[in-house]
Amino acid sequence: MTRSFEVGLGIRSDHPFGEYGRIAVAAEEAGIDVLSVFADLWFQPALPALLEIAGATRRVRLGAACWNPYSSHPYELAGQMAALSIASQGRAYFGLAKGTWLGDVSIPQPRAIAHLRECVDVVRLLLSGDRSGYEGEIYQVAAGVGFRVPLPEILPPVLIGTWGRQTMAMASKVADEVKIGGSANPDMVRVVREWLAAGSPARGDAVGVVVGAVTVVDEDGEAARAVARREVAMYLAVVGELDVTVDIPQDLLSEVTTLVRADDHDAAGALIPDDLLDRFAFAGTPDHIAQQLHALGEAGVRRVEFGGPLGTGDPLAALDLIGRRVLPAFA
């Protein structure tokens, strides 16, 4: 098999500082192409981890997956991107999404598509050094103002995270990539590619599709899949309703959700059948995961992003297994 897509690693921002660099070096040595730090509510901000990763690596691209335009103004995001792009010598990408759980801190999220579109406009304007100003419906930048720090020589590529068709249509006009989080489904990749092409016949085909999901790889495939089932059970009700290519019985979703709320994750995961698990996780032996990647490549994915916990034990050992047994299948 040959590989026509990138492979990334998603990192949750809950590690001690100093650990991000160690993970990043191991990932780069394993052959990973892109490192993403999740910018989730109630975790450490993504930027410090990303700066540590930038200093520890030389090849991988890196970025937050994803920042949102509600808790941070575009000028703040542009400043963070300027710092990350300079620190990484141009290897940074700009990840943006509506954001999740912001209602828990009383941050409303009206007009998401307009916020995302104008945020991209403002960030690009400021990073390019353009001081002509911006007059949007949501954001305005006065003429004559701009950063007084070094700016990237090349604008970072833009990734927009979404499952929504309307947001995909907007992204087809302004983004370089779109990401559907919590998916390992080749059929959904094909649907997204159709949505992007319909949203912008002129450039939609050039926008890359990224998928990312829970990953558990182990020589003991059944053990790996048991761990993955527990992880997937926690978000199946959410992503299951977003994936238009699968029809999950409502009684199954209800039972899984009830068991998760009762903190019985083993029982909840045991209800998830094999074919459904493969739609929402990378789980099993190295050979099985290589087959999943091959199917995604055939569907036209641009990047596959492995998420935690990576293995049944030490995540760095699992990362080493990916480097030794999964990626070489595409040499």
Q: What is the pLDDT of residue 2?
A: 81
| Cα 237 to Cα 214: distance, rounded to the nearest angstrom | 15
pLDDT (tens digit per residue) in 111-121: 999 999 999 99
In a domain, 317, yes or no: yes
In a domain, 31, yes or no: yes
User: Quick check: 1 pLDDT over 90?
Assistant: no
Q: What is the pLDDT of residue 247?
A: 94
CA proximity to 268, closest of 240, 230, 228, 241: 230
Q: Beta partners for 119?
A: none
Q: Spell out the SS3 assignment of 48-71.
A: HHHHHHHHHCCCCEEEECCECCCC
In a domain, 215, yes or no: yes
In a domain, 230, yes or no: yes
User: Quick check: 237 pLDDT over 90?
Assistant: no
| Cα 27 to Cα 19: distance, rounded to the nearest angstrom | 12
Count other Cβ atoms within 10 Å, centred on residue 133. Answer: 13
Q: Beta partners for 140?
A: 135
Query: Which pair of tokens denotes residue 18?
Result: 């100093």
In a domain, 32, yes or no: yes
The residues, ordered by sequence, that sit 6+ positions from 254 with a Cβ below 8 Å of its Cβ are none
The mean pLDDT value for 253-282 works out to 96
| Host domain of residue 167 | 6-330
Q: What is the pLDDT of residue 31?
A: 97
Domain count, the chain: 1
In a domain, 109, yes or no: yes
User: Quick check: 212 pLDDT over 80?
Assistant: yes
| Cα 235 to Cα 245: distance, rounded to the nearest angstrom | 17
pLDDT (tens digit per residue) in 131-161: 999 999 999 999 999 999 999 999 999 999 9
CATH code where residue 57 lies:
3.20.20.30
pTM above 0.85, yes or no: yes
User: Quick check: 306 pLDDT over 90?
Assistant: yes
Share of the chain above pLDDT 90, in %: 98
The mean pLDDT value for 96-104 works out to 94
Please tell me the total number of residues recorded for the chain in this structure.
331
Q: How far is CA 199 from the centre of its chain?
A: 21
In a domain, 1, yes or no: no
Q: What is the pLDDT of residue 53?
A: 98
